[in-house]
Amino acid sequence: MRIILASKSPRRIEILRKNGINAIVIPADTDETLPEGISMTDAVEMLAKRKAMACYEAVHEKYPGHIIIGADTLVWKDQIMGKPKDAEDAFRMLDKIRGTVHYVVTGVAIIDTDTGSCSVLSDITEVHCKNYSDDDIYEYISMEEPYDKAGSYAIQGYFSKHIDHIKGDYDNVVGLPYYRIEPLIRDYM
């Protein structure tokens, strides 16, 4: 059984590689519009399934005997926080999470290219931030790192010094809760 990752995320690719999986990378562009009032877990599961299904529709005939993994990650602090639109939006998000607890949730959808069967799950990690300053935020948003990350930060990057601790899976915060998907991958093999 071969694995297709419906994402170009270097972080997800690296998580799979460190677990011995060299996935075929076939990103799926999908509509990421969410219904008003959707919960954080429903949101990431919906988006992960959309991405996996878009990839499935595009490639299932060319890749029999494969599984497709679609994933989506967001940050939740009183509301969904996706990727920032600009520096002002990044500042707003980082200001909102400083000195507090927020949640990172990743949804994953796995589709068998032979049968079209789909499994969907999500994982939540509690993240505790230190009480950093406005200057710390301005310094961080002057870098490129926050702009393609949910919640405007990368726990594995420069921002890690502003994280006090987490409760849950570190890889989930990075973008793929491998410990949760490993049993499903094995089931397909």
Indicate which residues carry an active-site annotation.
Answer: 72
Token pair for 46: 């919906």
Give the separation between CA 49 and CA 42, rounded to whole angstroms.
Answer: 10
**Contact yes or no for 26/4 (Cβ under 8 A):** yes
Query: 181: how many CB neighbours lie within 10 A of its CB?
Result: 23
What DSSP line would sit under 80-134, residue for residue? EE-S-SSHHHHHHHHHHHTTSEEEEEEEEEEEETTT--EEEEEEEEEEEE----H
